[in-house]
Amino acid sequence: MNNPVYSSVFKQEFYDLIELKRALGFAYVAESNAFRRMDAFFISNNLNNKCVTKELSDLWCCKRSHESIANQGHRISTMRVFCKYLNTVGLPAYVPPKGLTRKGPGYNAHIYTDDELKCFFSVVDNSISVPSECPYRGDVMPIFFRILYTSGMRVSELRLAKLKDVNLTEGYITVHEAKNHKERIIPIHPALVDKCKQLKAKIHATSPEEEYFFMIRPGQPMQLYNVYHNFRRYLDKANISHTGRGPRVHDFRHTYCVNLLRKWTDEGKELIAYLPYMKTMLGHEGFEETAYYLKLTAERFPYIKDQLKQSFPDLIQEAIIDEEHDFY
């Protein structure tokens, strides 16, 4: 668990809010790091009184030249949460209103074609380990990316999975620190269970149960930059063009969902009975998030569009997704 250290006039309030959120079941790790930056901001502005004025709040909320609109929105949200908390404990604080940022153009999910997937995994299978830097890359990457594609897991859910979370006897991964703070069980594709067993025997012969299954080296999990650096290299070698905004690793999750819905539709299954399974597998809070994939499937495969519309006309018409909150 993260142990933040604060020094500003609001240091105790930061500690108290984090303790409250964790008592309610929230991990509150990313938020505690965001509070560190806010703590430094209060110090740099010589704040000596426990009061957040509108002027101070506006200064924090202003867009910085180097940041995206999404990051600005996260900063504003952090300030909003903290100021609301200050109000509840009787301290004066201006709460920044919603709507201070304008969303940029939405991201159009890239659904990998069968040929792209074939080329991509052919390249991944030729990964070479570098003993001094990435001693297990050639062993880990082919399995890591295949599980991403065949499970719909988020990147960080998989890269942070520990040995104790991966049950190779029954073939599933338990996700603990998931989005929406819900634990869930993800089946491993049967064709990958044996590969996982081989990987475990090769690199985890003496590893404790707390070790990361897809470690870079003992005690060190795969970092996001490791995933994306290798991902971009694989795309280039597979001749899959990258526009600067995509394709992304997260699009394996989108592709998994679209292909699963296509498979169910082609098999004549009643999707209304299968959507709860998809919702649980993906760790979605509500059906609106899952409905986004109905829309993607209808757009990607017009031949099943009419069937989907007959079953889910309103969901397909209204489905949207906030990419910034369903990432990694």
User: pLDDT for 27-82, tens place per residue?
Assistant: 787 788 889 999 999 999 999 999 999 999 999 999 887 777 878 888 999 999 99
> Which band of pLDDT confidence, cut at 50, 70 and 90, is reported for residue 104?
low
**How much is the pLDDT for 298?**
76
Average pLDDT over residues 138-159: 94
Q: Is residue 102 part of a domain?
A: no
186 and 231, same domain (yes or no): yes
pLDDT mean across residues, the chain: 86
Q: Is residue 104 situated within a structural domain?
A: no
In a domain, 107, yes or no: no
Among the three residues 205, 237, 269, which one is the final residue of a domain in this structure? Answer: 237
* Mean pLDDT lowest among 128-132, 281-285, 317-321: 317-321
Backbone angles phi, psi at 119, to 5 degrees: -65, -40
Question: Does 15 fall in a domain?
Answer: yes
pLDDT at 190: 94
Q: Who contacts 267 (Cβ-Cβ below 8 Å, separation ≥6)?
A: none
Q: Is the pLDDT of residue 282 over 80?
A: yes
Pick the more confident residue, 319 or 229: 229
Of the two residues 107 and 6, the one the predictor is more confident about is 6
Considering the domain architecture, whether residues 81 and 124 belong to the same structural domain is answered as no
Do residues 128 and 193 share a domain? yes
Q: Are residues 233 and 131 in the same domain?
A: yes
Q: Between 242 and 326, whose confidence is greater?
A: 242
Sign of CA dihedral 76, 78, 79, 83: positive
pLDDT > 90 in the chain, percent: 54
Pair (47, 118) in one structural domain: no
The CA distance from 287 to 264, in Å, is 18
- 287 plus 226 within the same structural domain: no
Given 237, 269, 298, which residue is the final one in a domain? 237
Same-domain pairing of 118 and 77: no
Q: What's residue 307's pLDDT?
A: 67
| Statement to judge: residues 76 and 125 lie in one domain | no
**Is residue 285 one of the residues assigned to a domain?**
yes
pLDDT top residue among 298 and 17:
17
At 170, the pLDDT band (50, 70, 90 cuts) reads very high
Going by pLDDT thresholds of 50, 70 and 90, the confidence category of residue 300 is: confident
Residues 72, 165, single domain; the answer is: no
> Is 6 a domain residue?
no
Residues spanned by the domain of 67: 11-88
Query: Where does a domain end: 187, 213, 237?
Result: 237
Q: CB 191: neighbour CB atoms within 10 A?
A: 9
- Residues above pLDDT 70, as percent of the chain: 87
Residue 171 sits in a domain whose CATH number is 1.10.443.10
Per-residue pLDDT, 323: 37
* Residue 108, in any domain of the structure: no
Tokens of 67: 């940041």
Domain presence at residue 152: yes
Domain count, the chain: 3
Task: Specify the pLDDT at position 292.
Answer: 76
User: Is 269 in the same domain as 226?
Assistant: no
- Please tell me whether residues 257 and 307 are part of one structural domain: yes
> How far, CA to CA in Å, does 71 sit from each of 33, 92, 103, 231?
14, 26, 11, 23
